Structure 1
Amino acid sequence: MEATTKTTWNIDPTHSEIQFKIKHLVISTVTGHFRQFEGTVETEGDDFATAAIRFSADTASVDTNQAQRDEHLRSAEFFDAEKFPKLTFESTSIEKTGDDVYTITGDLTIKDITKSVVLKAEYGGSMTDFYGNYKSGFEVSGKINRKEFGLTWHAVTEAGGIVAGDEVKLALNVQIARPA
């Protein structure tokens, strides 16, 4: 029986984005990004159902397009970026659940709290770019409860409205490159 070759793909940060969405005042949604991140996907050959995924984002790179809010998110009340400079994800299982659809289960660590999360990944296809690099694209989505990860800051308006919701929607558009 022939051994399958392990392939390590690297996230292409130039063609990827790591985004989250959270309700503000329960009436609108604030979108944020992590600007600095890295990750690898190790597969047997090109079979993504065999993948082992490792990902990290620099918590100080959080960007919601509003400087004062970003500083608050970097503070000890949220990410505590000085003490916990990275959030990480490591897959524990991947299951192909449909044509080009995968369910990814893994351990997400924010601050010093690790919880199992389930993400949905939709394979967008593969192609060789202008420079001869073979790339694959995925749209990944999921939800977490921020309070389960120690992001417990809470405030209520004078009228009794909640300032920040507990549910955080994750939306990642990731392009990975296989070495030539």
Structure 2
Amino acid sequence: MATTWIVDQAHSDVQFKIKHLVISTVTGSFKTFSGRLIQEGEDFEGAKVYFEIDPKSVDTNNTARDEHLRGDDFFGTQDYPLMTFYSTSFTKISKNEYELIGDFTMKGITKSLILKAEFGGITVSSYGVEKAGFEISGIIIRSDFNITFNSPLEKGGMMIGEDVKFIVNLQISKQGI
């Protein structure tokens, strides 16, 4: 029998970082997201993961930059209101490490991503709810999703990096049977 786990948004976050001016890193997060994990066996091997992010919820601690990111140069949130991830495999590598592969869609373009999922464990909250934790990380190449806004720098390199590193800290809640 399958077990459904739902993302606890209050105890989870979606963070990203990207190089800026070659010399530093800009960080940000998405504040609105949801997801679920469907577990078939005793552990999470083979589980199905579904995750959605609202790109309008981007927050880099800079209002002007956030508005630019929502526009057509980057996320195009008017035309593309969701980013989605649907797993195609969830493979146990070691006791607390999984490889998560799936289809990520952003701006209407879908690409396969290979992610690292570090399992934090399972516990029961003070409210009697069974919880599990994962840290999921990976890299997205932004030009793969037609996000190409950039400009060359006088001393070489580009204003914005190509690789977007992300970390998703998930706490998921087991749903009643």
Q: Same fold (TM over 0.5)?
A: yes
Is this contact kept in 2: 1:7–1:46, CA < 8 A?
Answer: no
Which runs of no fewer than 5 residues in structure 1 stay unpaired?
Answer: none
Structure 2 equivalent of residue 27 of structure 1: 23
Structure 2 equivalent of residue 48 of structure 1: 44
Cα deviation, residue 161, structure 1: 4.0
Structure 1 equivalent of residue 56 of structure 2: 60
Hey, which of these two has a bigger chunk of strand by percent? 1
Q: 2:111 aligns with which of 110, 115, 126?
A: 115
From the superposition, tell whether residues 33 and 46 of structure 1 become closer, same or farther in structure 2 (CA, over 3 Å): farther
C-alpha separation in 2, matches of 1:70 and 1:26:
20
- Number of residue-to-residue matches in the alignment: 176
Cα deviation, residue 75, structure 1: 0.2
Match status 1:78 vs 2:74: yes
Q: Report % sequence identity.
A: 49
Q: Which runs of 4+ in 1 moved over 3 A?
A: 157-161
C-alpha separation in 2, matches of 1:75 and 1:21:
19
Cα deviation, residue 46, structure 1: 4.4
SS in 1 for 2:80: coil
SS in 2 for 1:49: coil
Cα deviation, residue 121, structure 1: 0.5
Match status 1:153 vs 2:119: no
Cα deviation, residue 45, structure 1: 4.4
Aligned-residue CA RMSD (Å): 1.1
Which runs of no fewer than 5 residues in structure 2 stay unpaired?
Answer: none
